[in-house]
Amino acid sequence: MTTTALDALGGRGFLLGRWPWRAAAYLLSSLATATATAGALSLLCLPWLVLALESSWDRPGPVIALLALGALGFGLGGPLLALPLAGWERRRLRLVDPRPVTSGHRPPPATGLAPWVRTRFTEAATWRELGYAVLLATVVLAACVAVLVFAVLAVSLLVSPFLVGGGPVSVGFLTVSTPGESVWGVLGGLVLLAALCYLGTLVAGLHGMLARTLLQGDQLIEVSRSRARLVDAFEAERRRIERDLHDGAQQRLVGLTLRLGLARLDLPADSPAAAQVAAAHDEAKQLMAELREFIHGIRPQVLTERGLPAALGELADRSAVPVTVHSALNGRLPGPLEGTAYFVASEALANAAKHSGAAAVEIDVRLDRGWLRLEVRDNGRGGADPAGGTGLTGLADRVAVLDGRMVLSSPAGGPTVVRVELPCPQSE
């Protein structure tokens, strides 16, 4: 199934399909957008342009002032230009790539201009969008102009019979003097027109690939939805399961283990029944240990009593892979935040031990401008895929309940990085 303009290039019936028209619309709108962007960036970089055109400066003072003024204009005005441009480009991308594309930006602060500016200017997504704006105003603009020149040449050859009435006419590489000679121009124009469909679609598809690469959040799994009711429901269900297991199944299993132990003492040591009871007693004790470990994994006691840093330290001690924990937390955090961060760290360590072949893992947790940031990095083979059944989508859903986001980076060859950001406004 054809999903993008690049996929359509090798398909049958391409010239008679919709993709050449969609690519043409995308390129024409790209030409207009790139021209406007180039003009806006030129104004922002005007001090640098003045400096480049004027070579007679004999003192360093004006040169430094123009350099600083240009850097200030580009550094402050560039992101403010790139943000709305990126939103427009993500919508326009549907012409050549209908797949959904999401922004890599964090949710905006509730109130205040200063928090908004601080959030946007410290995001990698903002600076990627600025880089896209620069490429749009230079490389993409040049490519669109080249395709436009090619299109003008093809159309000129097609209409060459109507141009020879006043004498010989030079159309590109062909000089047409008579209507008979213009037949060759028309044939050449048809060939160029067919080539133009492929060339234009190729350029549009590559432009769309560039836009998706720079304007989509980096290999990320991100969900945003209504939160408060889900958080309360999850916490209530977790507490119920933990209580039922601790007060019900675990206590009954303890009683069973004691009764088997007493029965074992009453039987002759060399009897067949004693061997069977001993085996059952050992299995019951093993099952009780596994159940205790399972209850501990739901919400460990150390997390409830001492908080996230201590729980992560205990998690590192129990991990099959050597783990180093770097924590910059002071004091306690809300229970849902601590529970979610612990759950993500636990699952990431389990995935690293099972799938990555890592020899070392680092966990970094800190508060930063109203966000709890947790990062788990391993030095394994990489290649983690959310569709591969490693629980990554479930982690993202768990994080999304708290209005957070999870970013996964796992190129082939490693390293694998799972980064989680959870809003924690009281830490500002």
With beta carbons less than 8 A apart as the criterion, state whether 20 and 14 touch. Answer: yes
Residues with Cβ within 8 Å of 269's Cβ and at least 6 positions away in sequence, in order, are none
Residues with Cβ within 8 Å of 147's Cβ and at least 6 positions away in sequence, in order, are 27, 196, 199, 200, 203
Per-residue pLDDT at 223: 40
With beta carbons less than 8 A apart as the criterion, state whether 338 and 308 touch. Answer: yes
With beta carbons less than 8 A apart as the criterion, state whether 416 and 409 touch. Answer: yes
**Residue found under tokens 């102009």:** 145
With beta carbons less than 8 A apart as the criterion, state whether 104 and 190 touch. Answer: no
Per-residue pLDDT at 226: 43
CA distance 409 to 418: 7
Structure tokens at 135: 């490429």
The C-alpha R_g of the chain, in whole angstroms, comes to 32
Per-residue pLDDT at 428: 44
Per-residue pLDDT at 309: 87
Name the amino acid, one letter, at 26. Answer: Y
For residue 33, how far is the Cα from the chain centroid?
A: 25
> What does DSSP say about strands 405-409 and 220-221: parallel, antiparallel, or unpaired?
antiparallel
Per-residue pLDDT at 244: 61
In DSSP terms, 323 is beta-bridged to: 361
CA distance 113 to 121: 12
Taking alpha carbons only, the member of 229, 230, 237, 216 closest to residue 397 is: 230
Taking alpha carbons only, the member of 262, 256, 343, 337 closest to residue 291 is: 256
With beta carbons less than 8 A apart as the criterion, state whether 337 and 345 touch. Answer: no
Per-residue pLDDT at 146: 94
With beta carbons less than 8 A apart as the criterion, state whether 208 and 175 touch. Answer: no
3-class state of residue 273 by DSSP: helix
For the chain, report the end-to-end CA distance as a whole number of angstroms. Answer: 49
Spans in the chain with pLDDT lower than 70? 1-2, 52, 54-63, 108-111, 160, 162-182, 184-185, 217-250, 288-301, 386-391, 425-428
Structure tokens at 27: 């390129």
- What counts of helices (H) and strands (E) characterise the chain? 15, 8
CA distance 151 to 193: 7
Per-residue pLDDT at 31: 95
3-class state of residue 421 by DSSP: strand
Kindly give the residue spans of alpha helices, DSSP state H, lying in 299-321: 301-306, 308-318
